[in-house]
Amino acid sequence: MISDITMGQFFPGKSVVHRMDPRVKLCLTVFFIVMIFCAKNFVTMAITIAMCFAGIALSKVPMKLYMKSLKPILFIVAFTAILNLFYGTGEPLIAFGPVKITLNGILNSVMIAIRIVVLILISSILTFTTSPTQLTDAIERLLKPLGYLHIPVHEFAMMMTIALRFVPTLLEETEKIMAAQKARGADMESGGMIQRIRALIPVLIPLFVSAFRRAFDLATAMESRCYHGGDGRTKMKILKLGKIDLTTLISCVVFLGVFIVLNTVIPPIIR
Amino acid sequence: MSFIECRNLHFSYGEETGEVLHGIDLDIQKGEFVALLGHNGCGKSTMAKLFNGMLVPNSGTVKVDGIDTGIEDLQIDVRRRVGLVQQNPDNQMVAGIVEEDVAFGPENLGIEPEEIRRRVDNALKAVGMYEYREHAPHKLSGGQKQRVAIAGVIAMETDCIVLDEPTAMLDPRGRQEVMDTITYLNREKGITIILITHYMDEAVRADRVVVMDGGRILTDGDPRTVFSQVELLKRHHLDVPQATELIYRLNAAGCSIPGMPLDEAECLSALKTYIGL
């Protein structure tokens, strides 16, 4: 049940997107998220969505998984869309007393829904095709300049690597503890919200205790393997920009040019 | 000079718990396969951490390859020589991918990337986990995880591996895999092995068995000599291998079976000779 969560999971593969430099992927993810929010008309929105689907197709990860990653946020999408529906300006199309729905409101809510969905899809491409280690590695390299300001970039990246490494382990453990408590008669499915949260306490306490024990063991293991911070450390996998990365970067620059032109030439949908 | 030299070790975790080790003297030679046996709380896990300088004795010295583990600046040098594998395979993996976890040690040592690649591949091949190099550790079985942990130590090219109850959390099959790997590394690669365990059947596979009880060394010798002291071991509530136990009981009941068999095959042949088959 808990392991059903697909968001943030990595699916090993050999596709073009998998082989891309994680730094490039990370930057492009941010870039496209900014783009989808900058798109002011349906044309620019459509080409951004097209780029997003091109990425999905190239990743060779089954579409089903992307759909699965959307599932948990459908509620948020619906909620924001409905909320936006009532905040439009201009001539009301339908009005129930003080509540009025305008054309702008409808367009706005459609756009916000599309934006959130695309945002999730784009970040899913990143997490599906990039191993956690690669991802933290990319963050470490990209943030390296901050090291000169005495910000502990390496330590931060190491913390992320370990946190991501232990997510499945701790999820598995949570399920085991829940099963153990249920076997002892714990009731976790009935009752109101507060009662249910309270029922989680006997799960959380053992989980925390064991997490501390794990942390202690891990510290011993890391120290035994000569870990002494980021100084003088090398990497087995060196990030290198390849042909794929250059091609992608060039096409994205072209995309940016087209995007800017179209976004200014074609009038925005919402005035 | 021995590879690891322990002289008059005294150790305590603090005032309340009292002293755990009361004057241990132990020498381990290069290339040996030593099993360290004893009850829970007899101080054997403490010994594991003393061997690579994770703990430092209150008095006495531990020298690895001539280096005193008590000198803080030299502890990295000690750990390049003596690696540690712990009981819980889940808790000693750092990275989310097998090969990256194995690379963690060499990366800390500042080795060139191509050399790390070579070492990681060789280490994974040595433990028979090369095909799993791109897997996530949480999808492996216990025995496989423990073999990856061993590979992580091999990749550092340590001369000695200390294993602190590496099979305690594994099923019989995983236990077999790990024991085969350890034996292979000792016999074929010449790596010194210190195996801490409470399974007698595992201890039998070592060249030398050291039995600890109450923070002292009870007896030390090759498996046959150690396990023939059945009375001594029993007095300290320690087990002997099942085969040895059977022959010991038969002899106590009036038979006179010669020799001290350590495993099933030996036991069977001893019994066959005795009844004249």
Report whether pLDDT(A258) > 70: yes
The C-alpha angle with vertex B142 and arms to B136 and B145, in degrees rounded to 5, equals: 45
Place of tokens 């992927």: A25
Answer for the pair B238, B227: CB distance below 8 angstroms, yes or no.
no
Which of A218, A225, A234 is opposite residue B110, by nearest beta carbon? A234
Percent of chain B with pLDDT strictly greater than 70: 100
Q: How far apart are CA A47 and CA A45, in angstroms?
A: 6
Structure tokens at B137: 């550790």
Which secondary structure element, helix H or strand E, spans residue A245, and what is its range? helix A243-265
Q: What is the DSSP string of A191-229?
A: S-HHHHHHHTHHHHHHHHHHHHHHHHHHHHHHHHTT---
Q: Give the pairing of strands B192-197 and B208-213.
A: unpaired
Answer for the pair B251, B245: CB distance below 8 angstroms, yes or no.
no
Q: How far apart are CA B161 and CA B163, in angstroms?
A: 6
**A133:B95 CB<8 A:** yes
**A234:B116 CB<8 A:** yes
Report whether pLDDT(A91) > 80: no
Structure tokens at B253: 């009941």
Q: What is the mean pLDDT of chain B?
A: 90
The stretch B22-43 carries a mean pLDDT of: 90
Task: Identify any residues that bridge with A30 across adjacent strands, giving them in sequence order.
Answer: none
Shortest Cα distance, chain A CAs vs residue B114, angstroms: 7
Q: What radius of gyration do chain A's Cα atoms show?
A: 23
Provide the pLDDT for residue B229. Answer: 87
Answer for the pair A181, A203: CB distance below 8 angstroms, yes or no.
yes
Q: How far apart are CA A161 and CA B95, in angstroms?
A: 6
Tell me how long chain B is. Answer: 277
DSSP single-letter state for residue B91 = G
Chain A contact present for B32, CB below 8 A: no
**Selected residue of B92, B102, B139 to mutate for chain A interface (largest A Cβ count, 10 A):** B92
Q: What radius of gyration do chain B's Cα atoms show?
A: 20
Q: How far apart are CA B149 and CA B5, in angstroms?
A: 26
Give how far the C-alpha of residue A202 lies from the chain's centroid of Cα atoms, to the nearest Å: 30
Percent of chain A with pLDDT strictly greater than 90: 36
* Topology of domain B4-223, CATH: Rossmann fold (3.40.50)
**A224:B84 CB<8 A:** yes
Provide the pLDDT for residue A1. Answer: 41
What is the three-class DSSP state of A94? strand
* ipTM attached to this prediction: 0.87
Q: Give the pairing of strands B208-213 and B216-221.
A: antiparallel
Conformational region of residue B14, where left means phi above 0, alpha means psi within -120 to 50, and beta covers everything else: left
Tell me how long chain A is. Answer: 271
CA distances from residue A142 to A23, A138, A149, A230, A252 in whole angstroms, order as listed: 7, 6, 14, 15, 19
Provide the pLDDT for residue A57. Answer: 92
What is the three-class DSSP state of A260? helix
Per-domain residue ranges of chain B: 4-223
Chain A contact present for B49, CB below 8 A: yes
**B79:A225 CB<8 A:** yes
Q: How far apart are CA A189 and CA A199, in angstroms?
A: 9
| Minimal-distance CA residue of chain B relative to A220 | B54
Chain A contact present for B137, CB below 8 A: yes
Task: Identify any residues that bridge with B84 across adjacent strands, giving them in sequence order.
Answer: B162
Report whether pLDDT(A87) > 80: no
Which secondary structure element, helix H or strand E, spans residue B228, and what is its range? helix B223-228
CB neighbourhood size of B276 (10 A): 5
Q: What is the mean pLDDT of chain A?
A: 86
Q: How far apart are CA A146 and CA A142, in angstroms?
A: 9
Which of A161, A234, A238 is opposite residue B95, by nearest beta carbon? A161
pLDDT digits (tens, 9 = 90+) for A155-196: 888 888 888 888 888 988 999 999 998 898 888 777 788 888
Q: How far apart are CA A88 and CA B253, in angstroms?
A: 97
Conformational region of residue B73, where left means phi above 0, alpha means psi within -120 to 50, and beta covers everything else: alpha
| B17 vs A79, more confident | A79
The stretch B147-159 carries a mean pLDDT of: 94
Chain A contact present for B120, CB below 8 A: yes
Answer for the pair B167, B175: CB distance below 8 angstroms, yes or no.
yes
Answer for the pair A90, A103: CB distance below 8 angstroms, yes or no.
yes
Answer for the pair A270, A107: CB distance below 8 angstroms, yes or no.
yes
Chain A contact present for B91, CB below 8 A: yes
Answer for the pair B34, B223: CB distance below 8 angstroms, yes or no.
no
Give how far the C-alpha of residue B198 lies from the chain's centroid of Cα atoms, to the nearest Å: 10
Provide the pLDDT for residue B30. Answer: 93
Confidence band for A8, pLDDT divided at 50, 70 and 90: low
pLDDT digits (tens, 9 = 90+) for A197-224: 888 888 999 999 999 999 999 999 999 9
Sign of the Cα torsion A114, A115, A118, A120 reads negative
CA distances from residue B194 to B38, B46, B141, B189, B209 in whole angstroms, order as listed: 14, 13, 24, 15, 10
pTM, to two decimals: 0.81
**A235:B107 CB<8 A:** yes
Shortest Cα distance, chain B CAs vs residue A98, angstroms: 55
**A133:B76 CB<8 A:** no
pLDDT digits (tens, 9 = 90+) for B215-268: 899 999 998 888 888 888 888 888 888 888 888 888 888 888 887 788 888 888
**A218:B92 CB<8 A:** yes
Provide the pLDDT for residue B257. Answer: 83
**A169:B99 CB<8 A:** no
Report whether pLDDT(A5) > 90: no
Which residues of chain B are within 8 Å of residue A137 when distances are taken between CB atoms?
Answer: none
Chain A contact present for B140, CB below 8 A: no
Chain A contact present for B83, CB below 8 A: yes
Q: How far apart are CA B19 and CA B59, in angstroms?
A: 11
**Selected residue of B82, B87, B108 to mutate for chain A interface (largest A Cβ count, 10 A):** B108
Provide the pLDDT for residue A122. Answer: 93
Place of tokens 């989680």: A200
Confidence band for B163, pLDDT divided at 50, 70 and 90: very high
| A237 vs B183, more confident | B183
What is the three-class DSSP state of B110? coil
Chain A contact present for B88, CB below 8 A: yes
| A239 vs A36, more confident | A36
Half-sphere exposure of A128 (CA within 13 A, CB side): 28
Place of tokens 């007698």: B200
